[in-house]
Amino acid sequence: MQVVICGLTIPIVLRSEKALKNDLGLFDSEKEQIELLRRMDIKIRRKTLIHECFHAFLFITGYNELLQDISPNAEEAMTRAFEQAFNDLFVFDDDVERWIRGDI
């Protein structure tokens, strides 16, 4: 699966707990890909994907650099706030929503 953020296609790769070091997901800025835990509740998968999409957005736009100047924790705090505030408003295309539900 993949998402398009600011015109950039970002692959989504499913990984094991071991590979993610017990995290639910991450945005790998070197590979420009999102990695998600393979086995996850659907609601948590969706929320985690939103979270990682926001990290990708901050990287693509360069805002991650500005946030780094504020504090090493600023990006994560802003990303969590975004994830909480916009979870129900965030829209993925139908293919991604079906993929999140495990239908494809």
Site residues (vs Zn ion, CB under 5 A): 76, 79
- Cα angle 27, 17, 8 (rounded to 5 degrees) comes to 20
Give the Å distances, CA to CA, from 14 to 2, 9, 17, 38, 95.
11, 16, 10, 5, 16
Toward Zn ion, which CB reaches closer, 76 or 95? 76
Toward Zn ion, which CB reaches closer, 72 or 102? 72
Toward Zn ion, which CB reaches closer, 58 or 100? 58
Using CA atoms, how far apart are residues 88 and 100, in angstroms rounded to an integer? 14
Q: How far is the CB of 37 from Zn ion (least distance, A)?
A: 13
Q: How far is the CB of 26 from Zn ion (least distance, A)?
A: 7
Q: How far is the CB of 60 from Zn ion (least distance, A)?
A: 15
